[in-house]
Amino acid sequence: MRFGDGWPCCDGIVIPMDLATIMHEQSEKRPRARDLGLPLQGTPGADNAITDVPGLTVGMTTLKDEGQGIHTGVTAILPRPSADLLHPCWAGSFSMNGNGEMTGVHWIREAGWMTGPVTITNTFSIGIAHHASARWMARRFPDVVGEDVWVLPVAAETYDGYLSDIAGFHVTEDHVLAAIDNAAGGPVPEGSVGGGTGMIAYEFKGGTGTSSREVTIGGETYTLGCLVQANHGLRPWLTVCGKPVGEQMAENRIYEAERGSIIVVLATDAPLLPTQLDRLARRASIGIGRGGTPSGNNSGDIFLAVSTANDPGPLPEPPRFKLDALSNDRLDPMFMGVVDCVEEAVLNAMLAATPVTGRKGRFVPALDTDRLMAAMGMAPSGHKT
């Protein structure tokens, strides 16, 4: 199934949203951070999305049924073309605060690489996301997986139980498989879609956000992209481009203490060692910190970084690896790109999201662009909210 065929929903319903329709609706109704003229740093790629990294694709399944209180889904990130997902990607990870889960990171710490799709969903569906990813790999590579090769999928989660019937376990194996099969390049839907459908950020509607940066090092230009599932922060903490704006928008608060998390997936075509990718993953902490969060006790703030360079070929591992890598002394522009990229992706997630009334009649507002611009001391955006 591709984006144009619609996204599977709960109870067999299909939401007939093709990618072009989604992007048109978002451009008409909800601006991205750069559309507002916010003083964001760095130069983005063509689509200002993680898919600006060559060969990387993103797919989603969105489940919405307001009558049943279902607002959830799954996002799949394929760091390589599907035919090459048995080729390891060098990787690193970091847990800023571990009140959450990302599978597969133990092997990344041991071996320095990962294979297969990366999936992000709600807390109670991480098991089915892991299961379905393994199933997808076994079906895609039947002569190898389960014979000479095992897979340790990367699956991550944030909690959507405030808005969604999380205990109903509505995400199925088929939903995860569809998200992987839907994966495409180009613009990425943001806000209340995929795994971010039921998520909340700074007590506004949050969800899925993405951004990218072009980073020039030693005369070579590389692409760095990130995708976040933003479900973190309290309203008074919210800071945008250095200005504390959350306290100026104090109505409709829903939490007394933080209950959420954020997952950050970073990807680049720059040749980096696993230890260097660990270092990139750590810098995502500064990116989310720019938004005001201290990474609270209840927050699962877990980050993954992968490089698509240095393709070693398919598993099983060859007898020897040959790696090319940037010098550590050249990494500062990449570190700054991570910080800028993550900051913007969180804003994009919030700005793309729409107000939601979830289970038990719980209402979560969207970030109002005109209120934001006023709090920033800037002229109204002129965009619809």
Ordered by start, the domain boundaries in the chain are 39-353
In this predicted structure, what is the pLDDT of residue 383?
A: 54
In this predicted structure, what is the pLDDT of residue 30?
A: 84
203-217 pLDDT per residue, tens = 999 999 999 999 999
Rounded Cα distance, 132 and 78, in Å:
14
- Scanning 291-363, the segments in alpha helix (DSSP H) are 332-352
User: CATH homologous superfamily for 39-353?
Assistant: L-amino peptidase D-ALA esterase/amidase (3.60.70.12)
Contact (Cβ atoms closer than 8 angstroms) between residue 266 and residue 303: yes
Q: Residue for token digits 């007898």?
A: 319
Rounded Cα distance, 46 and 43, in Å:
10
In this predicted structure, what is the pLDDT of residue 88?
A: 97
Query: Is the per-residue pLDDT at 385 higher than 70?
Result: no
The residues, any chain, with a CB within 8 Å of residue 26's CB and separated by 6 or more, are: 32, 189, 190, 191, 352
Between the CA atoms of 186, 192, 194 and 195, what dihedral angle is there, to the nearest 10 degrees?
130
Measure the CA angle with vertex 297, ends 296 and 300; round to 5°: 80
Query: Is the per-residue pLDDT at 28 higher than 90?
Result: no
Categorize the per-residue pLDDT at 381 as very low, low, confident or very high, splitting at 50, 70 and 90: low
Query: Is the per-residue pLDDT at 24 higher than 80?
Result: no
* Average pLDDT score over residue span 279-286: 98
Structure tokens at 277: 């990718």
Structure tokens at 370: 């005109």
Structure tokens at 372: 């934001």
318-332 pLDDT per residue, tens = 999 999 999 999 999
Q: Nearest-CA neighbor of 163 among 354, 312, 339, 325?
A: 354
Measure the CA angle with vertex 87, ends 81 and 90; round to 5°: 105
Rounded Cα distance, 48 and 188, in Å:
9
308 to each of 132, 137, 273, 296, 371, how far by Cα in Å? 23, 18, 11, 32, 40
Residue 48: exposure state from Cβ atoms within 10 A (0-12, 13-18, ≥19):
buried
Structure tokens at 383: 């965009």
Rounded Cα distance, 230 and 261, in Å:
7
Report the phi/psi class of residue 207: left, alpha or beta, with left for phi > 0 and alpha for psi in -120 to 50.
left
Categorize the per-residue pLDDT at 152 as very low, low, confident or very high, splitting at 50, 70 and 90: very high
Return the axis-axis angle of helices 173-182 and 126-140, rounded to nearest 10°. 60
Report the phi/psi class of residue 361: left, alpha or beta, with left for phi > 0 and alpha for psi in -120 to 50.
left
Length of the chain: 385
Residue 106: exposure state from Cβ atoms within 10 A (0-12, 13-18, ≥19):
exposed
Percent of the chain with pLDDT over 70: 91
Question: Catalytic residues, which ones?
Answer: 261, 299, 301
Query: Is the per-residue pLDDT at 196 higher than 90?
Result: yes
Query: Is the per-residue pLDDT at 253 higher than 80?
Result: yes
In this predicted structure, what is the pLDDT of residue 38?
A: 97
Q: Residue for token digits 């609706």?
A: 25
130-147 pLDDT per residue, tens = 999 999 999 999 999 999
* Average pLDDT score over residue span 236-245: 97
88-107 pLDDT per residue, tens = 999 999 999 999 999 999 99
